[in-house]
Structure 1
Amino acid sequence: MTVALTVPPSAPDRGTGPTGRDPGLTSLRRLTTTVPREYVHRSAITEVFLTDWRSSGPDSWTVTAQWPRAHSFYGPAHGMHDPVMLAETVRQSAILLSHVGHGVPLGHPAIWGRLRYSVSPAALTLNSTPADLELHVSDHDIVRRGRRLSTMRQVFRILRDGRDLGSVEGTLSCHTPAVYRRLRGAHADLERALATQLPLPEAVDPALVGRDRATDVVLAPSAGENRWQLRVDTSHPVLFDHPVDHAPGMLMIEAARQAAYATMGTAPSIAAAMDCSFVRYAELDAPCWIRAEAARHDYAGLPRVAVTAEQNDRPVFTAMVTCAPVG
């Protein structure tokens, strides 16, 4: 079982032209807009980072995106863009391409199995204008059920102003709503899932996890060293942009990042790389425990932290976080 990338409660269908855009926008091609929020499973237009897409060959795509200079959650720190914003950008791109490139109907859940990213810290430098990105995407190991996409592996090369910013590889699967309900069982009932969610525990000190507001902290104190309870705040406007029946994948990634920072100590660093596996859904009605421990340094000598999330004595998520010192 893996973790859904989440689907908004309503997603109207749209016709598309040869480039994937609405035919009515043909005369506006020189203007910059975001892609339709429904195509990236977002409710708030302000949370859409993608601006366009086009085919660049068989099962190959170019997606453009823009990172704002400031963001309410993925905000800059130490004069750098947040590297985890890359994971959210890739999440949006994977879902977009499942719809416009592979014909997955809107309203069908998309599910992560694995996500691995690496960024160049120097390319994250904050400038006087937003960061314009190009994501060069290739789809591999495509499996279809009938004429519809079932699973695929995607490889991303990301450029910022023509310079390498980073690379990402991820696996994605898509299900019909009926299959998703069977997979989720009783937890597919959104109203029930939200009604039975645990009370929100207190947050750890924001400074411990690289945050400046308790509302953005996703870890709660727990007994034992480097062990925390996952804080699942379903009112959070970014992590829960729309109601979902489980802890979203981006919440689990943020928990891994914060656990790594807490384990590393007070020296400022950034999560320059992550290798995440989504094992099963993290439910809202039971505590999820986050554990972290220092791991062997990577090939470049950078420190790494191994993070595991467990619920009901079973792993739900794992991550290896590579931390690069600021400066």
Structure 2
Amino acid sequence: MPGPAAAAPAPRLTSTVAKEYVHRACHAEVFLTGSEQLTDTTFAVTAQWPRAHTFFSTPDGTRHDPIQAAETIRQAGLYLAHTRFGVPLDHKFMMWNLDYTTRSRQLLIGAAPTDLTLEVQLLAQPRRSGTTVDFTLETVVRRGAQLAATGYARFTTVPDSTYQRLRRGRHSAELPAAPTVTAEPLPPARVGRLRPCDVLLAPADAPGTWHLTPDFWHPILFDHANDHIPGMVLLEAARQAANALSSPATVTPTAAATTFHRYAEHDAPTTITAQHTPGGDPDALTTTVTGHQHGEPIFTTVLTGHPDHR
């Protein structure tokens, strides 16, 4: 008499990683689904982008926003720091650089969510000095077998006690009053956006210069309370400034390289300045965007994209 049939293998189940690992409050804003260590310095990280996202999509709704690649690369750095490099969850992160380059065809939204594999490589073993950890990552993002994006990011992590000393009394998640800007925000279409609530810029007096006017209650840009303006908000402001400078043409930056110089404070007036600069691709538009508070630079972004004159 035949024995009992062998049990079918259990299906592979997929979920996002814990939101705490990527410093997000909302589960829906977590794009990573897992990781595997391949070598001492190389990791495979899986991710998924939804077909529809209220913020990370192009105005025509046909493509994923290239900045979603930057956010996914950022999340990969935080996730690996906590799960592979031994950085405690209560340590604070400083992001010094965040670069991305995307391939537009691989950002097309299909009939199913977009599954991605990130090959993340440490450029060197994390440098440790006491309880401080400094590490740099290069990332290759694939959609199936196709290259979708590449990226580069550098982080430093410090204990909360060190962070409090660095922040000199500003270490509080309570949002102060934003600086008063009397000008009305720019029209959404001028900054490559559809919704007024997503606009971050208002006109300033000088050409090619705008005031940063973030909404601290924005559910994605300010997913959780913080004691400074997040780097991803500054990157979005840079993209909007590139569009404002090029208007009425719309520019979707397929590549950007950002250096963060210092913290952007909530309560300090922030000016964003953009100018067209020479680039390596004669068919593309290169824009350099800088942000300043009290006359000091807080970030610099060089964006490259092809203008759409429709």
What is the TM-score normalised by the length of structure 2?
0.92
Residue 213 of structure 2 is matched in structure 1 by: 231
Does residue 26 of structure 2 align to residue 35 of structure 1?
A: no
* Contact 1:198–1:285 (CA under 8 A) maintained in structure 2: yes
* Contact 1:108–1:174 (CA under 8 A) maintained in structure 2: yes
Does residue 179 of structure 2 align to residue 198 of structure 1?
A: yes
Residue 129 of structure 2 is matched in structure 1 by: 145
Residue 23 of structure 1 is matched in structure 2 by: none
Of 133, 141, 156, which aligns to 1:158? Answer: 141
- Determine helix, strand or coil for the equivalent of 2:253: strand
Residue 261 of structure 2 aligns to which amino acid in structure 1? V
Classify 1:112/1:280 alpha carbon distance in 2 versus 1 (closer, same or farther; 3 Å). same
> Structure 2, unaligned stretches of length 5 or more?
1-8
* Contact 2:132–2:159 (CA under 8 A) maintained in structure 1: no
Alignment of 1:274-285 (within 5 A): 274-285=256-267
Residue 267 of structure 1 is matched in structure 2 by: 249
Shift of 1:267: 2.4
Point out the more displaced range, 279-288 or 69-78. 69-78
Residue 113 of structure 2 is matched in structure 1 by: 130
Tell me, in whole angstroms, the C-alpha distance in 2 between the residues paired with 1:29 and 1:217.
43
* Contact 1:134–1:159 (CA under 8 A) maintained in structure 2: yes
- Determine helix, strand or coil for the equivalent of 1:195: coil
> Structure 1, unaligned stretches of length 5 or more?
1-26
Residue 80 of structure 1 aligns to which amino acid in structure 2? R
Alignment of 1:289-300 (within 5 A): 289-299=271-281
Residue 123 of structure 1 aligns to which amino acid in structure 2? Q
> RMSD of aligned C-alpha atoms?
1.8
- Determine helix, strand or coil for the equivalent of 2:221: coil
Classify 1:153/1:28 alpha carbon distance in 2 versus 1 (closer, same or farther; 3 Å). farther
* Contact 2:16–2:32 (CA under 8 A) maintained in structure 1: yes
Alignment of 1:34-183 (within 5 A): 34-78=16-60, 79-141=62-124, 142-146=126-130, 150-183=133-166
* Contact 2:120–2:140 (CA under 8 A) maintained in structure 1: yes
Tell me, in whole angstroms, the C-alpha distance in 2 between the residues paired with 1:187 and 1:199.
20
Residue 59 of structure 2 aligns to which amino acid in structure 1? A
- Determine helix, strand or coil for the equivalent of 2:241: helix
Tell me, in whole angstroms, the C-alpha distance in 2 between the residues paired with 1:169 and 1:251.
18
Classify 1:36/1:94 alpha carbon distance in 2 versus 1 (closer, same or farther; 3 Å). same
Point out the more displaced range, 271-280 or 293-302. 293-302
Residue 253 of structure 1 aligns to which amino acid in structure 2? L
Bigger Cα Rg: 2
Aligned residues: 298
- Measured against aligned partners, the alpha-carbon deviations of 1:21-45 in whole angstroms (never above 9, x if no partner) come to xxxxxx9771010000011111100
Residue 285 of structure 1 aligns to which amino acid in structure 2? D
Tell me, in whole angstroms, the C-alpha distance in 1 between the residues paired with 2:111 and 2:84.
34
Shift of 1:60: 1.0
Of 206, 214, 230, which aligns to 1:248? Answer: 230
Classify 1:29/1:298 alpha carbon distance in 2 versus 1 (closer, same or farther; 3 Å). farther
What is the TM-score normalised by the length of structure 1?
0.87
Shift of 1:75: 2.3
Shift of 1:196: 3.8
* Contact 2:117–2:143 (CA under 8 A) maintained in structure 1: yes
- Determine helix, strand or coil for the equivalent of 2:170: helix
- Measured against aligned partners, the alpha-carbon deviations of 1:72-107 in whole angstroms (never above 9, x if no partner) come to 111233421100001111111100000001000002
Classify 1:268/1:190 alpha carbon distance in 2 versus 1 (closer, same or farther; 3 Å). closer
Classify 1:314/1:125 alpha carbon distance in 2 versus 1 (closer, same or farther; 3 Å). same
Residue 222 of structure 1 is matched in structure 2 by: 204
* Contact 2:283–2:306 (CA under 8 A) maintained in structure 1: no
- Measured against aligned partners, the alpha-carbon deviations of 1:218-243 in whole angstroms (never above 9, x if no partner) come to 11121121111111211010011110
Shift of 1:300: 5.2
Classify 1:149/1:54 alpha carbon distance in 2 versus 1 (closer, same or farther; 3 Å). farther
Classify 1:49/1:200 alpha carbon distance in 2 versus 1 (closer, same or farther; 3 Å). farther
Point out the more displaced range, 121-130 or 87-96. 121-130
Tell me, in whole angstroms, the C-alpha distance in 1 between the residues paired with 2:307 and 2:176.
42
